Amino acid sequence: MSLKVFKNAWFGRFARKEKISADALWDAVERAENGHIDADLGGGVIKQRIARPGEGKSKGYRSIVIFCKGELSFFVYGFSKSELGNIREDEEEQFKKMARHVLSLTEARLNELVANGQFEEVAKNA
């Protein structure tokens, strides 16, 4: 399986509102693929920075990504650094539970979730 990147419905709305491009999401995943992970929360959950359009990553967004190197990445939550310093411990635990579930999905089940709008594949160079 080649690398695929998805965003859940919540993150899709967040990305549209904040004008985060598909290229910016792929950039975050490609950095993680190359070992440049901003924070490894464990259990298949990482935190990656995403640059604001026209600005750098330090003033940009933080994203929670369910990440399986070389296979799948799911953007599931995002926030601007100015609005939220970090996620809470209980939220981190929920993301780890989500990661166990999402990373165990069969390809057929994942396709169903895409078809019903729960996940959307992020096209490369879109």
pLDDT score of 56 more than 80: no
The torsion angles phi and psi of 69, rounded to 5 degrees, stand at -50, 130
pLDDT score of 57 more than 70: no
75 in Cβ contact with 13 (< 8 Å): no
pLDDT score of 124 more than 90: no
d(CA 101, CA 75): 14
From the number of C-beta atoms within 10 Å of its C-beta (0-12, 13-18, 19+), residue 68 rates as middle
Mean pLDDT of the chain: 88
- pLDDT of res. 126: 45
**Strand 72-80 versus strand 4-8 pairing type:** parallel
> What Rg, from alpha-carbon coordinates, does the chain have?
14
pLDDT tens-digit series, residues 2-17: 889 999 999 999 999 9
pTM of this prediction? 0.91
35 in Cβ contact with 53 (< 8 Å): no
In the chain, domain spans:
4-120
